[in-house]
């Protein structure tokens, strides 16, 4: 089977996280949405996304089954999608969930609208706004844990650790010493070659990606995911950190999402609760204003390549755009535009050639080529976001 995961209006409302990727490349739980569908369907997959992203995230040329990339699979939805016949579309309350073309085609909303519609009656998790990622992370982490570990035998941790509960799965090469793992309230998944260093305390639900490290004395609360090739420390609660990012020192991160290639300076903290306990608002790129989230707890949304210096203080409900570079004393504004350079005292434009110089060094440390495809995507984002940089 071959599938393409298509973007809909959620790509717009999920910015700045989706400036650098299709919606289906978002990580929630243990896997990305694309990995969930491809794994559950044993399918090869591609992406139907924005033109400037398609070089890095191409469509699969042989797909006839198209699935909404903002929707996470579950057992009932998988059954409904795989049961589609040629020329049928699956919808719920006007939302296109999936469709099956009669022949190989590119994603086409008009084509989907002309197909025979089947109504889906069940519920499902859809990622429509950035805060949905940490909000639904617990449910998705538990689903991914069951999928990835079904019928398999876990590796063993050293006897120096204290284990509470039996929902712990250890992939090949994962190690931990002198730490506590409490899976009584949710599963704990340690990815291949990951490391938990001495004195750490971890409560489930929790996932640690392949080749990532939890530093000594770290405190991690449930509903938290650390993606592959990350290093974390300090105190983390209900946060999702994607691959190749670091929060390696003391400081609090809660009810937050960090993209790829982010770095959090030592002793940085984010607020996730307002002093008056009021509902938190987040910057919305589509509305070009702040949007009510309906949440009392909401922290930091940080897009790819964003970084902050030591002792940075993020206010409740802060959005930091792609390649924002934040430093200095005081609280920076709640919306930090893409390619902004500065802090509470003011911002300048982070010149793209300067950003490229930094990115090349960051990629080189991971033995990855910062190639022309990456540069072209970031250049496009720099142009797309010019109107937000009123410095």
* Tens digits of residue pLDDT in 7-47: 999 999 999 999 999 999 999 999 999 999 999 999 999 99
Q: What is the pLDDT of residues 40-87, one digit of tens each?
A: 999 999 999 999 999 999 999 888 899 999 999 999 999 999 999 999
- Structure confidence at residue 83 (pLDDT): 94
**Count of alpha carbons within 13 Å of 164, Cβ hemisphere only?**
13
Q: Which pLDDT belongs to residue 101?
A: 87
Is 246 or 390 the better-scoring residue by pLDDT? 246
Within 8 A by CB and 6+ apart from 86, the residues are 64, 100, 101, 102
**pLDDT at residue 58, rounded to an integer:** 95
The single residue listed with the structure tokens 């990951």 is 194
Round to whole Å and give the CA distance between 267 and 87. 56
Which H or E run includes 336?
strand 335-336
pTM of the model: 0.95
- φ, ψ dihedrals at 89, nearest 5°: -125, 145
In the three-class reduction of DSSP (H, G, I as helix; E, B as strand; rest coil), residue 82 is classed as helix
Distance CA 107, CA 25 (A): 17
Predicted pLDDT of residue 347: 95
E strand or H helix at 34: helix 33-41
Could you list the beta-strand ranges (E) of 88-151: 88-92, 95-100, 116-119
């Amino acid at each position: 089977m071959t599938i393409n995961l298509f973007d809909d209006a959620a790509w717009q409302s999920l910015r700045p996280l989706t400036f650098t990727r299709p919606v289906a490349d978002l990580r929630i739980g243990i896997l990305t949405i694309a990995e969930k569908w491809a794994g559950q369907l044993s399918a090869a997959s591609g992406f139907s996304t924005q033109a400037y992203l398609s070089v890095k995230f191409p469509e699969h040329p042989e797909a006839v089954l198209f699935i909404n990339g903002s929707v996470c699979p579950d057992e009932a939805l998988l059954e409904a999608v795989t049961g589609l016949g040629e020329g049928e579309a699956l919808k719920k309350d006007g939302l296109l969930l999936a469709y099956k073309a009669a022949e190989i085609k590119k994603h086409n909303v008009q084509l989907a609208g002309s197909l025979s519609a089947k109504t889906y009656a069940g519920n499902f998790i859809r990622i429509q706004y950035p805060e949905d990622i940490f909000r639904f992370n617990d449910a998705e982490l538990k689903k991914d844990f069951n999928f990835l570990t079904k019928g398999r035998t876990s590796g063993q941790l050293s006897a120096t650790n204290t284990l509470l509960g039996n929902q712990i799965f250890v992939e090949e090469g994962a190690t931990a010493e002198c730490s506590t793992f409490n899976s009584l309230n949710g599963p704990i998944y340690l990815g291949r070659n990951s490391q938990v260093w001495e004195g750490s305390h971890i409560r489930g639900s929790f996932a640690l990606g392949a080749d990532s490290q939890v530093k000594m004395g770290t405190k991690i609360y449930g509903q938290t995911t650390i993606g592959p090739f990350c290093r974390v420390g300090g105190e983390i609660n209900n946060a999702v950190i994607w691959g190749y990012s670091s929060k390696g020192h003391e400081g609090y991160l809660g009810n937050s999402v960090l993209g790829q290639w982010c770095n959090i300076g030592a002793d940085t903290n984010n607020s996730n609760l307002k002093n008056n306990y009021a509902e938190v608002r987040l910057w919305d790129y589509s509305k070009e204003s702040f949007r009510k989230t309906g949440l009392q707890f909401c922290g930091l949304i940080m897009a790819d390549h964003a970084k902050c210096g030591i002792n940075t203080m993020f206010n409740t409900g802060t959005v930091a755009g792609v390649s924002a570079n934040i430093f200095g004393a005081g609280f920076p504004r709640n919306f930090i535009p893409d390619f902004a350079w500065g802090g509470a005292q003011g911002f300048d434009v982070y010149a793209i050639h300067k950003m490229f110089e930094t990115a090349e060094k960051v990629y080189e440390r991971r033995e990855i080529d910062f190639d022309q495809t990456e540069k072209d995507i970031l250049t496009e984002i720099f142009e797309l976001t010019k109107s937000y940089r009123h410095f």
